[in-house]
Structure 1
Amino acid sequence: MKVIIIEDEALAARQLKAMVQECDESIEVVTMLDSVEASVAWLQANESPDLLLMDIELVDGQSFEIFNQIEVKSPVIFTTAYNEYAIQAFRVNSIDYLLKPIDEKALQRSLQKFKELKKLYGTTSDNSLSINELVNAIKQTKLPQTDYRERFLLKQGSRLVPIAVEDIAYFYSQERLTFVKTWDERSYVIDYTLDELECILNPSCFFRANRQIILCAKAVDKVHLHFNSRLKLDLKPATVEEVFISRDKSGEFRLWMGE
């Protein structure tokens, strides 16, 4: 089994590598990466490993940014000193979530969980096929509907304005602020980041198009095929900046839209 460790503290990375190999001598730690940028570059240039051990807080941002930039094709065990990211972790390819300092028995249980899940999908001559099936199964595990936000109380001047989720066309970031755009073309500042919103919005209704916008399906007016297999979206209400879906996310977006 080939494993990648993504951890920005060199000592913690070495300790985790030793712990992994103590749990299972057959595991090969292919490389250790310390940033979002390095992880994106490595995953784009190399064959997907069987498993990623991924710290959440990296030197250049949160590791969730990796999923926004590329399609991650491997299951993930997240490691972190904080417990507030648990829901967000399970919105991506996560099979487990370990709090630091990591206990060897907990790590062993996580690795065993991965092996048991993989067994459910069998093995094939093309190992990536079984891994892809496992990742797809993980992504299909959704939080209950009751866990998703139904409304927000937003500040506008000296007033607090209740906005129901069904009245929102999209959320977007601009100049380090996050905004809500409603169907009647009103904009409100909201005290959440897009990363935070992504894990409290119903994914059947909202899609993280890129790092700047999360949109409702009904807001998509037209979809244009664009250069380098990207998609260009026309939204309603219209946006100031053009909205693109990357090549890596275009397949996921098309399925989400019902292709």
Structure 2
Amino acid sequence: MMNILIIEDEPNAAQQLMKMIKACRPLFQFSPVIDSVEAAVQHLQHQHAPDLIFLDIHLSDGHAFDIVAHIDLPCPVIFTTAYDEYALKAFEVNSIDYLLKPIAPERVTKAITKFEQHYASRPRFQQLLPERGHYKQSFLVPFKDKLLPVRVSDFAWFEINNAVVSGVKFDGTVHILEERSLDALVKHIDPRQFYRANRQLIINKAALKEVAQYFNGKLLVKTLPQPREKIIISRDKVTQFKSWVTA
């Protein structure tokens, strides 16, 4: 599993960054946040190396580049800072990207995607990255007295009604699935392709037709085909949803 280390001396900024990373890569794991040069050097010298570091340039006891002066960074880095004057220097130290604060969720997604694309050919990272092969590629669905394989990508959405989970294909065909809940299902399908819109529905990005503004800052999503009930994205999930759509 991909392990992320955030080095950031502002707790709120660290929590916001972690939230944005989790929104686009739910399976990533995190080491405890580090807030100083001294603690970062100690951690990187004596602990198992992370797979990716998000590194703030101005820390509580100095500069991010003070870390580099003490040790060679063991993995790629994505810098986070409110200042743009360090960009050239940042790319001299194994940097993947340079994110300016306030950081937009879509920039975090693009930075991680760049990291994945850059390192995807390395055997070590092929085992760590959440490739599609790690998720279900098909379901066995009951049909009369048989079980038929149906590709996950053929489903426009998944829904739960009266404790029964079903998938609706692009041609409108409905199949009952073995999963007992959407919570269980969502763990086995690619989060880059499928999004948990609400408690009753998981939608396929390929089914999106349009997204419109709705009441009170919510979004109204239209798909092909369209479920009987409206697909409403709550206001607190709007940023996350937009990041998913544009990733």
TM-score, normalising length: structure 1 = 0.51
Change (3 A) 1:128 1:92: farther
**Contact 2:167–2:177 under 8 Å retained in 1:** yes
**Contact 1:95–1:114 under 8 Å retained in 2:** no
1:217 aligns with 2:205: yes
CA-based RMSD of the aligned residues comes to 4.3
Aligned equivalents of 1:153 and 1:74: distance in 2? 38
1:151 aligns with 2:168: no
Change (3 A) 1:227 1:144: same
Aligned equivalents of 2:132 and 2:51: distance in 1? 26
Deviations 1:166-188 (A, max 9, x none): 32111112222211101221212
Structure 1 counterpart of 2:210, which letter? K
Change (3 A) 1:115 1:256: closer
Change (3 A) 1:132 1:213: closer
2:14 to 50, 69, 72: 50
Aligned to 1:75: 18
Structure 1 counterpart of 2:161, which letter? Q
**Contact 1:152–1:164 under 8 Å retained in 2:** yes
Aligned to 2:166: 179
1:167 aligns with 2:104: no
2:220 to 224, 232, 238: 232
Aligned to 2:242: 254
Task: Give secondary structure in 2 for the equivalent of 1:257.
Answer: helix
Aligned equivalents of 2:104 and 2:172: distance in 1? 43
Structure 1 counterpart of 2:234, which letter? S
**Contact 1:75–1:95 under 8 Å retained in 2:** no
The alpha carbon displacement at 1:244 in A equals 0.6
**Contact 2:24–2:192 under 8 Å retained in 1:** no
Structure 2 counterpart of 1:173, which letter? I
The alpha carbon displacement at 1:152 in A equals 0.8
Aligned equivalents of 2:104 and 2:155: distance in 1? 36
Counting matched residue pairs gives 176
2:178 to 176, 188, 191: 191
Aligned equivalents of 1:131 and 1:238: distance in 2? 30
Aligned equivalents of 2:106 and 2:210: distance in 1? 31
Q: Which runs of 5+ in 1 are unaligned?
A: 1-26, 29-46, 52-72, 77-87, 99-104
Structure 2 counterpart of 1:171, which letter? F
**Contact 1:75–1:93 under 8 Å retained in 2:** no
Change (3 A) 1:138 1:190: farther
**Contact 1:153–1:161 under 8 Å retained in 2:** yes
Aligned equivalents of 1:216 and 1:185: distance in 2? 14
Question: Which sits farther off after the overlay, 135-144 or 223-232?
Answer: 135-144
Aligned to 1:23: none
Change (3 A) 1:245 1:183: same
Deviations 1:105-133 (A, max 9, x none): 9xx948x85995435425548x9747979
Change (3 A) 1:118 1:226: same
Q: 1:20-39 maps to which residues of 2 (within 5 A)?
A: none
Task: Give secondary structure in 2 for the equivalent of 1:75.
Answer: helix
Q: Which runs of 5+ in 2 are unaligned?
A: 1-8, 33-42, 57-76, 84-99, 117-128
